[in-house]
Amino acid sequence: MAGLAAKGRLDFTDRPLKVTYHDPCDLDRGAWIFEEPRRVIRGLPGIELVEMAHNREDCLCCEGGGNLEMIDQELNAEIARRKVEQVLDTGAEVVVSACQQCLRIMATQARRNKLPLKVTDIAQLVRRSLRE
């Protein structure tokens, strides 16, 4: 996506939205990919990216990838609660990630607690910004 956007091969339209980005463990601490997703997000017209207190290599894990919820549901719910609180502290309308497990954990936490938070994949955010 970053390459296509940089080459001008994607046609975007201005759609204002305040977002924060959750760094998935496999991408950040696993592959050391921090800036590429942010570059994509910052390249979308109207999108304001706000960082969480813990981001990049210091990002708080959602614990979705380790299947913690199968072993200790209470601990998993507490970790998810802390993660979503940090997201809400940014004032963002949407949390964006590139991991389906992270998205599922945060969306479940928001839904169960009736929190005003939308959760979306980075590809969905790009799709939302494409001119129709």
Per-residue pLDDT tens over the stretch 61-103: 766 766 777 777 888 888 888 999 999 999 999 999 998 888 9
Residue 90 CA to chain centroid, in angstroms?
12
Domains of the chain: total: 1
Report the CATH number at residue 30: 3.40.50
Quote the pTM value: 0.88
Residue span of the structural domain in which 112 resides: 2-129
